[in-house]
């Protein structure tokens, strides 16, 4: 900017740095021969922008201060060898300013401690009059309105006694009934579906609306799956419904049929990771534990639950949950973790002692492992890899069925829809003569997802060559049988 006029406040030896749009003295950006020591920067209008110090190697050392155009301090921070190291403060201005405020504008001043360039610790926020506040500008004196209701709650009976109160305290309104109850009930054949109380009081998450199927649902599930590869079909064979997501597309699911399985248990929650296309982990063995964890994490993350109360609440779930990163806010306060070294071996051991693997007998994941080969087989032709089908086949969960075992699983499928789905597809792909018996038994099944499967297989058996996604069903079956898995 050769025609840029030097303001009177800018010294004659200051250089205009185009990349920074500032006049500077001492900055390394001024050139390879730039002096070290105290550095200053001015804006084009002549207002002082920053003061800092460079050592002989060009590293920022000591305090860096930036100013608003009106001369008030915009930020101040301590640096060591070019990295943040010490106390930092950001503050707004009453006048227009190009300086970026690093916090919500509902606050006035933001302070924290940093020992690296990517982690802020001991964060504190203040209102304009100096009142300590939350990060979104609520005075601390009245901010933690969830303490009492969480303190009084317990995971053992959370849904029946506490969840509605927590929901009302968090959202300021009564829980609404689950809007998709009828659709879910028809799809899964559940007269009184198991998500009603759970989803109406779940804090932070809500059961997803059931996908709309205009025709046979299986044609859409195979040819046009939602979410990530294998995820939707895996949820179908698990007999589960999505209840929310973490991050960009990692999903949380709740099972629906555990109470009516041959060995009844509470329904469980699991976590699906989109990076591995796999059921990552079981996060809770009951709706109560999962709902209580959601309430603690969301209330603490929203800065409405103090660290101490969060820690006491989390202790009630010790060794009962194995939560993913997005659902454990406040848990580090249970064991006093130093979050400035968050990945240290000592911290990892503390977390591992709290978040233990909870599905040790595979009860929850059994349905997934049993049908994993089916999820790899029943994808669109372009996505199918028979090596993956073979690799995902669990022989111990797909043993030959004698007459008694076949009748047992056939009977179970009448009330447990995912078992009916697994059995029908297994009989079909293996050309098992007992398929006719299964089709007849399930023709009037209470679950639409099972009735649709009966309809589709009957059409295949009657000569239908293929559907969108699987262009030649018989050729696909021949390729599968050559794997020799059954």
Position of tokens 């020799």? 484
Residues 408 and 422 in one domain: yes
Residue 290 and residue 385 in one domain:
no
State the average pLDDT for the chain: 89
Q: Mean pLDDT lowest for which of 152-166, 212-226, 372-386, 413-427? A: 212-226
425 against 60, higher pLDDT: 425
Give the whole-angstrom CA distance, residue 148 versus residue 169.
10
Tell me, what's the pLDDT at 194? Answer: 62
Q: Which of 249, 237, 180 is nearest to 212 (CA)?
A: 180
**C-alpha angle 459/461/462, rounded to 5°?**
60
Instruction: Check whether residue 334 and residue 237 sit in a common domain.
Output: yes
User: In the predicted model, what is the mean pLDDT of residues 442-455?
Assistant: 97
- pLDDT of 193 above 70: no
Lowest model confidence (mean pLDDT) among 41-55, 70-84, 167-181, 417-431: 167-181
**3 inside domain:** no
Q: Tell me: do 310 and 214 sit in the same domain.
A: yes
User: Could you identify the residue written with the tokens 């901010």?
Assistant: 143
| Contact assessment for residue 334 and residue 314, using Cβ atoms and an 8 Å cutoff | yes
Asked if 179 and 275 sit in the same domain, the reply is yes
Task: Express each pLDDT in 296-317 by its tens digit.
Answer: 999 999 999 999 999 999 999 9
Q: Is residue 144 over pLDDT 90?
A: yes
Distance (Å, rounded) from C-alpha 156 to C-alpha 168?
20
Same domain, 112 and 199: no
Per-residue pLDDT of 4-33, as tens digits, reads 899 999 999 899 988 889 999 876 655 555
Q: Is residue 342's pLDDT more than 60? A: no
Place of tokens 């199918």: 384
Strands of 250-255's sheet in order across: 240-246, 250-255, 269-273, 278-284
| CB-neighbour burial class of residue 218 (10 A; exposed 0-12, middle 13-18, buried 19+) | buried
Contacts of 465 (CB under 8 A, 6+ apart): 471, 472, 473, 474
Q: Give the Cα separation of 229 and 137 in Å (integer).
A: 42
Give domain status of residue 360, yes or no.
Answer: no
Same domain membership, residue 178 and residue 107: no
Tell me what pLDDT residue 1 has. 47
pLDDT of residue 484: 96
73: closest CA among 45, 92, 87? 92
Pair (264, 314) in one structural domain: yes
Higher pLDDT, 199 or 402: 402
Establish if 6 belongs to a structural domain. Answer: no
| Residues of the domain holding 19 | 15-142
Q: What is the pTM of this model?
A: 0.80
Q: Is residue 171 over pLDDT 70?
A: yes
Is residue 117 domain-shared with residue 135, that is, in the same domain?
yes
pLDDT in tens, 30-89: 555 555 788 999 999 999 999 999 888 888 999 999 999 999 999 999 999 999 999 999
Has residue 2 been placed in a domain?
A: no
Is 414 found in the same domain as 266? Answer: no
Is residue 350 situated within a structural domain?
yes
Residue 405 and residue 330 in one domain: no
- Greater pLDDT, 227 or 188: 188
Closest CA to 199 of 248, 242, 152, 147: 242
Q: Which of 142, 166, 189 is the endpoint of a domain? A: 142
Q: Assess if residue 10 is contained within a domain.
A: no
436 in a domain, yes or no?
A: yes
Boundary of a domain, candidates 110, 142, 174: 142
Least confidently predicted of 55-59, 310-314, 319-323, 468-472: 55-59
Both 138 and 211 in one domain: the answer is: no
pLDDT digits (tens, 9 = 90+) for 145-159: 999 999 999 999 999
Q: How confident is the model at residue 339 (pLDDT cuts 50, 70, 90)?
A: low
Domain end, chosen from 99, 119, 142, is at 142
The domain total for the chain is 3
């Amino acid at each position: 900017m050769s025609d840029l006029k030097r303001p009177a406040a800018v010294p004659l030896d200051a250089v205009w740095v185009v990349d920074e749009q500032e006049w500077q003295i001492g900055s390394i950006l001024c050139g390879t021969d730039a002096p070290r020591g105290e550095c200053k920067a001015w804006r084009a209008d002549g207002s002082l922008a920053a003061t800092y110090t460079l050592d002989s190697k060009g590293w920022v050392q000591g305090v860096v201060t930036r100013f608003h155009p009106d001369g008030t301090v915009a930020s101040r921070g301590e640096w060591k060898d070019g990295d943040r190291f010490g106390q930092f403060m950001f503050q707004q201005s009453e006048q227009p300013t190009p300086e970026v405020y690093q916090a919500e504008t509902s606050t006035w001043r933001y302070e924290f401690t940093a020992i690296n360039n990517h982690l802020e610790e001991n964060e504190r926020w203040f209102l304009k009059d100096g009142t300590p506040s939350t990060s979104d500008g609520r005075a601390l004196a009245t901010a933690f309105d969830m303490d009492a209701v969480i303190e009084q709650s317990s995971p053992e009976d959370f849904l029946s006694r506490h969840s509605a109160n927590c929901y009302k305290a968090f959202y300021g309104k009564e829980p609404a009934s689950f809007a998709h109850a009828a659709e879910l009930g028809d799809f899964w054949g559940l007269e009184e579906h198991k998500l009603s109380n759970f989803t109406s009081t779940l804090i932070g998450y809500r059961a997803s609306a059931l996908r709309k199927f205009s025709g046979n649902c299986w044609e859409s599930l195979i040819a046009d799956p939602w979410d990530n590869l294998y995820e939707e079909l895996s949820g179908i064979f698990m007999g589960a419904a999505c209840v929310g997501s973490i991050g960009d597309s990692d999903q949380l699911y709740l099972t629906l049929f555990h109470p009516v399985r041959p060995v009844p248990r509470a329904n469980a929650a699991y976590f699906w990771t989109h990076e591995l296309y796999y059921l990552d982990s079981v996060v809770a063995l009951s709706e109560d534990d999962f709902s209580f964890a959601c309430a603690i994490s969301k209330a603490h993350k929203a800065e409405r639950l103090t660290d101490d109360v969060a820690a006491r609440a989390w202790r009630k779930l010790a060794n009962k949950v194995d939560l993913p990163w997005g659902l454990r806010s406040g848990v580090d306060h249970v064991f006093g973790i130093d979050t400035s070294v968050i990945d240290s071996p000592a911290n990892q051991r503390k977390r591992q002692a709290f978040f233990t693997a909870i599905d040790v007998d595979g009860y929850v994941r059994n349905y997934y492992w049993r049908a994993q080969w089916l999820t790899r087989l029943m994808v669109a032709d372009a996505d199918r890899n028979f090596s993956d089908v073979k690799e995902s086949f669990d022989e111990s969960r797909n043993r030959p069925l004698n007459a008694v075992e076949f009748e047992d699983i056939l009977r179970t499928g009448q009330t447990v829809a995912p078992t009916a789905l697994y059995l029908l597809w297994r009989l079909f792909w293996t050309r098992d003569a007992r398929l006719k018996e299964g089709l007849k038994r399930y023709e009037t099944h209470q679950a639409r997802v099972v009735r649709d499967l009966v309809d589709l297989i009957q059409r295949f058996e009657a000569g239908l060559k293929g559907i969108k996604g699987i262009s030649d069903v018989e050729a696909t079956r021949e390729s599968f049988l050559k794997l020799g898995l059954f």
